[in-house]
Structure 1
Amino acid sequence: MNAVTWDQRERVIALLDAASADPAVRAVVITGTGRGFCAGADLRGAPASGGERVAGDVARTIRRGAQRLVTAVLDCEKPVLAAVNGTAAGLGVHLALACDLVLAAESARFIEVFVRRGLVPDGGGAYLLTRLVGPQRAKELMFFGDALDAAGAHRMGLVNRVVADAELAATAKEWAERLAAAPTRALALTKHLVNASLDGDRESALAAEAWAQEINMTTLDANEGVAAFVERRTPKYRGL
């Protein structure tokens, strides 16, 4: 069920960081193999603490682990698409919700499983979920830990689109190709503005928008977009 091991987490974080720096990478897709998207953290595979637990150990583990993984998705400078192919539980839910766009197969399920284990949500779950569905629905999902099917997740605004299981890969490919053909730096700056919009005040948001516009107008893609409009042709973006 693709539970996240320590090694897998570090590999995904490294791949996302490399994607940000590589001009040849124009979009990222996160999906699972087999019958599940991600069952959460692999608690059985966590390394031993090597001694008596002291105050701060758990918080440090969360910061270095689940929070780093989710933050790597949020901070990736390329658009990140989740193709949820089955059950997403615990950290798996938050990994999907951190993505910029979420496609869900009809068989997908989203489970805030933490309460079933007597645990508090990690991986930025309360931060992400509350911003997507509001505090009352977020608490309902997290307090009860009930499975939410794909249709329900779509109604709540957690996913962009639900497709038949057999169509998930093709739809994800189509969306990724559209994202890859877009002006990459403009998407990165737009992502930054949207992600930061709920955390700041209006003055800061407008200042950030002006800053993003200033930076974007130095890109080749911005010049190409304007030139193509003037010349009445389809723009050819290169991600530069």
Structure 2
Amino acid sequence: MTPSPSPGSVPPATGPAGPVEPAGPARPVDGTARVDPPGHADPVDSLIRHATDNGVSWITLNRPEAMNALTWEQRERLIRLLSEASSDPDVRAVVLTATGRGFCAGADLRGAPSSHERVAGDVARMIRDGAQRLITAVLDCEKPVVAAVNGTAAGLGAHLALACDLVLAAESARFIEVFVRRGLVPDGGGAYLLPRLIGPQRAKELMFFGDAVPAAEAARLGLVNRVVGDGELEKTAREWAERLAAGPTRALALTKQLVNASLDTDRSAAFAAEATAQELNMTTADAQEGVASFVERRTPAYRGR
């Protein structure tokens, strides 16, 4: 399980000006935007804001006073929203971000049930049903997922960001493999994700020492795609997500699937998967549109079909 960093190891949730506003629409921006119906609101809805705007599903963690440490209920809602994004034809990209000065401080252990006598297999079962399900939901989401990391991402929070397809980081963002500070083993797929991003030696360095990695260093290592000014994070995330939302949705989904699978397969299996993906993609309207637009020398108009 992922511990939340101690209060002294991360910046406070609010500054003199109060919590930073969420990166993403909390209300409809135009006729294409929608928010979750208030009449069907669940108590956890205020802790995870959700809105869809211009084909982009904005998912915003909203517990700034707790550095957006995840409760069990928040985790389940995140998993559900990612699953819904996969199946919703009106959603063609996802942005995952947060309010305040923390992106996500890991799992909220303070909200866990009081300790009781352990049964063999309890911890492994909890990890499989919890952190691993969340990371799997990000990796398996059929729409491109962009992380807009607005602040500290620690433990499971760091892995949540790194599991996304593209990672934007504000200049004030930090990534912390906090587990070793508490005598714990990384969870949430950390030992799977990090070596694939930066190699085993660098991954072990981050995990063995647990030092905070500033955004600029994270970019140098290859943990993030781009670092932008704090005030530019929402704008850049919106530009990237809307560009993805205007693209050939099924081709992007199949490309994501191929790239993710390539890290776990040999050449023959990867080539076979590529051929299958090509076959599947050529049945889509967007693929036909892409070829036709090239022949006709015009800009393609993809519809996500």
TM-score, length-scaled by structure 2: 0.78
User: Residue type of the partner of 2:79?
Assistant: I
Q: Unaligned 5+ residue runs, structure 2?
A: 1-66
Using CA pairs under 8 Å that are at least 6 residues apart, name the structure with larger relative contact order, 1 or 2.
Answer: 1
RMSD: 0.7
Secondary structure, counterpart of 2:85 in structure 1: helix
**How does 1:1-240 map onto structure 2 within 5 Å?**
1-48=67-114, 51-240=116-305
- Structure 1 outlier segments of 4+, above 2 Å: none
Percent identity over the alignment is 82
C-alpha distance in 2 between matches for 1:47 and 1:217: 50
C-alpha distance in 1 between matches for 2:298 and 2:259: 29
Deviations 1:99-131 (A, max 9, x none): 000000000000000000110000000000010
Q: In the comparison of the two structures, how many residue pairs are matched?
A: 239
C-alpha distance in 2 between matches for 1:34 and 1:146: 22
User: Residue type of the partner of 1:222?
Assistant: A
C-alpha distance in 2 between matches for 1:74 and 1:68: 10
Secondary structure, counterpart of 1:37 in structure 2: strand
C-alpha distance in 2 between matches for 1:161 and 1:149: 13
C-alpha distance in 1 between matches for 2:228 and 2:266: 37
Question: What is the CA-CA distance between 1:52 and the residue it aligns to?
Answer: 2.0
Normalized per residue, the structure richer in helix is 1
C-alpha distance in 2 between matches for 1:166 and 1:220: 38
Secondary structure, counterpart of 2:90 in structure 1: coil
User: Residue type of the partner of 1:174?
Assistant: E
Q: Unaligned 5+ residue runs, structure 1?
A: none
TM-score, length-scaled by structure 1: 0.98
Question: What is the CA-CA distance between 1:198 and the residue it aligns to?
Answer: 1.1
C-alpha distance in 2 between matches for 1:68 and 1:47: 20
C-alpha distance in 2 between matches for 1:97 and 1:147: 15
User: Residue type of the partner of 2:240?
Assistant: W
User: Residue type of the partner of 1:143?
Assistant: F
Deviations 1:107-157 (A, max 9, x none): 000000000011000000000001000000000000000000001000000
